[in-house]
Amino acid sequence: MKRILNLIGQGEGSMLDFKKEISSVHRIAKTIVSFANHHGGTLLVGVNDDGSISGVAAEEEKFMLQQSAGFYCVPPLELDIREWNIRGKVVLEVLVPEGHEKPYYAIDEEGKKWVYIRRADQSLLASKVMVEVLRHKHSSHPALIRYTPKEKALMDYLQAHPRITLREYCKLVNISRWRAQRILVGLTSVGVLHVHDVEKPEFYTLG
């Protein structure tokens, strides 16, 4: 119990999220896949956003969580759900593992699949570039990075400037958007670059 109280005291973050209750299998799937696409994470169900404990009906919440992870996350995920009684109220500790088949998708109310990633204490819709980065990073085929004058021009630019966008890179080396994106995704997937996709337009920095 002390460990759970310590977690609550930390507040929400990139690997910790509070939920008063599970009201929708679709909405909780977004949080679950965002953790799986990150480094894993913990859901505390029965805890309000401000850290106060509201408690839940354990069996109902467990059923919703298992349904979400098994049928509304693609590929399916297996959760480790632990039950705690804190001050007479039930709190569920839900451990979401880091996925080994990234990217993971959440199925929405219309049956569409979307990739979510974790940024600070939020689960955000991933950009197309981030989806490709996740796919490249976890492909069974190792990424082969060529170092041509186009890559060299990018590295030289980032040595002199703090960031570059896809559009700026297209203009810098005079190539198509599709080809520039492939180069940026490849370099990001091996850690040479870091993509910042919360701001729009997204931009890249040296990794």
Other C-beta atoms lying within 10 Å of the C-beta of residue 51: 15
Element (H, E) at 145: none
Which one-letter amino acid corresponds to residue 73?
Answer: C
CATH of domain 136-206: 1.10.10.10
The 10s digit of each residue's pLDDT in 133-178 is 898 877 666 556 678 999 999 999 999 999 999 999 999 999 999 9
User: Cα–Cα–Cα angle for 157, 159, 162, nearest 5°?
Assistant: 85
CATH of region 2-125, choose from 3.40.190.10, 3.40.50.150, 3.30.950.30, 3.20.20.140: 3.30.950.30
What pLDDT shows up at residue 16?
98
Q: Could you give the CA distance from residue 30 to residue 119 in angstroms, rounded to a whole number?
A: 13
| Mean pLDDT value across the chain | 93
Q: Which residues of 138-163 are buried (b: 16+ CB within 10 A; e: fewer)?
A: eeeeeeeeeeeebbeebeeebeeeee
Domains 2-125 and 136-206 share a fold: no
In the chain, what are the domain boundaries? 2-125, 136-206
The 10s digit of each residue's pLDDT in 30-62 is 999 999 999 999 999 999 999 999 999 999 999
Q: How far is CA 32 from CA 46, 95, 155, 188, in A?
A: 16, 9, 36, 24
Tokens representing residue 16 in the block: 């910790």
Element (H, E) at 1: none
Residue with tokens 């297996």: 78
Residue 7 has pLDDT above 60, yes or no: yes
